[in-house]
Chain A
Amino acid sequence: MTHELIIAGFGGQGVLSMGQLLVRAGLIENKEVSWLPSYGPEMRGGSANCSVIISDEPVVAPIVTDASCLMAMNRPSLEKFVSSVVPGGMVFVNSSLIDIKVERTDVTVYYVPCNQIAAELGNTKVAGNVMLGAFIAATGAVSVENVMQSLSQTFKNKQHLLGVNREALEAGGALVK
């Protein structure tokens, strides 16, 4: 099984970190992984995206042009990348910030109100984890436990934030189940 993902949004939404979190979790599960960010001036406040591959086989090309899954955190990202998703693939739409619907009928679409749920949890910064929770529940690409473990390694000095991050992952997952 190979998951080829594009995660996209605007700078500051943490889309690059979301990708890193997934590949770290994948590595814990002994999967083959790669993470390739967009870089350059667009990083400074513009759009940001990364290609993420989680696979049982060695990763061939690290750049994702035919995504099995798109996570779009804002509208320009959805518009830019929705055509990159393969037929039968999945599109995750942050419906808190994206007011349009996906017109394609050959993909499965999940509308996830990431920012709204994060606000309800009391921390707007966990919007990305709400999205990851939905993605994990829908694909089983990695486990929530391993995402938490990689978060725990990353948040060495911010362990008190682990709780709300777990809640965000679970809340996102609950939307899909």
Chain B
Amino acid sequence: MAVVFKKTDMLTDAPLHYCPGCTHGIIHRLVAEVLEELGVGDKTIGVAPVGCAVFAYNYFNCDMHEASHGRAPAVATGIKRTHPDACVFTYQGDGDLASIGTAEIVHACTRGEKFTTIFVNNAIYGMTGGQMAPTTLPGQVTTTSPYGRDTDHCGYPVKVSEMLSTLDGAYYIARVSVDSVKNVIQAKKCIKKAFEYQLAGKGFTLVEVISSCPTNWGMTPVEALNWVREKMLPYYPLGTYKDKGANE
């Protein structure tokens, strides 16, 4: 029988625990497919965060560390400095990376640590039940901003890709989305490019993936993807924010 589809070997057979309509599953698969296509499964060490992707170590079929909240870039630094030839990545959400772990990501980036970060931005704390995230949009209702995020009171969302791209240590920074087939294909291209740069020994690489959270946004999966397009993408424009390799 002709094989028309085969799941990538870089994902285990463990059933994903993510909610229906959550785009973490797509992002996992993109990362795993890229690792498989690059043939680096045997030398990859991943770092899972605290947040919805806390169990990522059960899903990626490679050596994995589970880090404490926000510290994945520090853990990845320790790993990569021990095994400079390994392929090292962190997979982090917005609370993990842009709130509690801000120092770690900024300094890993500015040091030019040669690993890849997959940053999943869904503008909310998912695992803990829908609290306000550093990337929650102005006016967005969450369980800790029940009247909508009031920027006078709690400030503005952090635009991670824009911020990190100002650092000299950043080699490649791109923001992508997985709300449509076209964008999924583009997302995979960017993720692959980031890993290729890492394997070539270049600097720090990060791909921010705009993601949806139907459960905590209180929407159907389709409504959630529409909300991504209507609300999130205007605030978080897609594109390549830094690509040192393009000029070399």
Direct contact of A and B (CB under 8 A): no
Q: CB within 8 Å of B: which residues of A? A: none
Q: CB within 8 Å of A: which residues of B? A: none
